Amino acid sequence: MLLDVKNLSHSFDYPLFNNLDFTLEEKKSMAVTGVSGSGKSTLLHICSTLLRPKNGEVFINEKDIYKLPNDELVNIRRCNIGIIFQSHFLFKGFSARENIEIATILTKSDFDMELVERLGISHILNNKVGDISGGQQQRVSLARILLKKPKIIFADEPTGNLDAATAGEITALLFDYIKTNNAALFLVTHDLNLAKKCDAAYKLENLQLKSF
């Protein structure tokens, strides 16, 4: 089991979810949909080491992550999981290649030219990221995340800023990645059709995750 969530509850100004239990296995994908403000991003942050829950446990690779010392938690975040946001955090004044190289240094990984070619960005490696398209920027961002071969990818509306065709290509790459790397995908999306392509599709509503 790559991800095992037990009895998870969280609230800010109001309760967001209560006693959630779910698991995610190798090669599997799950989608979380729900109205804005329902707590999807909060759930993703909690499952991906970024936010300690009010109640419950998150196990990644059998480790109860919020019971680990902080340096081990940071290590899991850096090396075992990949987190993709709607707006990527690339260094605008640097080239695509430099942005990818920074990630290889941080994660002690190698520059993966095969991955870069598969993502279709080998021809723009020397361009500044400010000068390439939104879809190409998201691919550079994906290269930075996938080169460390994460076991779980957490994606928070990763295609929200992209046109439909580019969005389809990016999600196809993610599905392909988890199958060929025995990894898993936790996807937050507004797109119900995309959600249904995942092995499990949930809606976060009335504090619970409901399958649909």
Binding residues vs ligand ADP (CB under 6 A): 12, 16, 34, 36-42
User: Quick one: what does residue 16 bind among ligand ADP, Mg ion, none, with the CB cut-off 5 to 8 Å set by partner type?
Assistant: ligand ADP
We find the least distance from the C-beta atom of residue 40 to Mg ion, in angstroms, to be 5
Q: Which residues pair with 30 in a beta bridge?
A: 186, 200
> How far is it, in rounded angstroms, from Cα 55 to Cα 42?
13
User: Quick one: what does residue 53 bind among Mg ion, ligand ADP, none, with the CB cut-off 5 to 8 Å set by partner type?
Assistant: none
> How far is it, in rounded angstroms, from Cα 137 to Cα 127?
11
Considering only 29, 33, 38, 41, the residue that binds Mg ion (CB under 5 A) is 41
Number of H helices, E strands in the chain: 7, 10
The helix or strand, by DSSP H or E, that contains position 189, with its residue range, turns out to be: none
Q: What are the two backbone dihedrals, phi and then psi, of residue 112, each rounded to the nearest 5 degrees?
A: -105, 90
User: Quick one: what does residue 37 bind among Mg ion, ligand ADP, none, with the CB cut-off 5 to 8 Å set by partner type?
Assistant: ligand ADP
Q: Is 80 left (phi over 0), alpha (psi -120 to 50) or beta?
A: alpha
Residue with smaller CB distance to ligand ADP, 44 or 115:
44
We find the least distance from the C-beta atom of residue 192 to ligand ADP, in angstroms, to be 15
Q: Any contact of residue 99 with Mg ion (CB under 5 A)? A: no
User: Quick one: what does residue 89 bind among Mg ion, ligand ADP, none, with the CB cut-off 5 to 8 Å set by partner type?
Assistant: none
User: Quick one: what does residue 38 bind among ligand ADP, Mg ion, none, with the CB cut-off 5 to 8 Å set by partner type?
Assistant: ligand ADP
> How far is it, in rounded angstroms, from Cα 157 to Cα 15?
22
Residue with smaller CB distance to Mg ion, 147 or 158:
158
Q: Which stretch binds Mg ion (CB under 5 A): 19-27, 41-49, 55-63, 103-111?
A: 41-49
Residue with smaller CB distance to Mg ion, 41 or 95:
41
Q: How far is CA 205 from CA 12, 62, 135, 185, 195, in A?
A: 16, 28, 31, 21, 15
Q: Among 178, 189, 210, which Cα is nearest to 81's? A: 178
Residue with smaller CB distance to Mg ion, 15 or 130:
15
Which residues of this chain interact with Mg ion, rule CB under 5 A?
Answer: 41
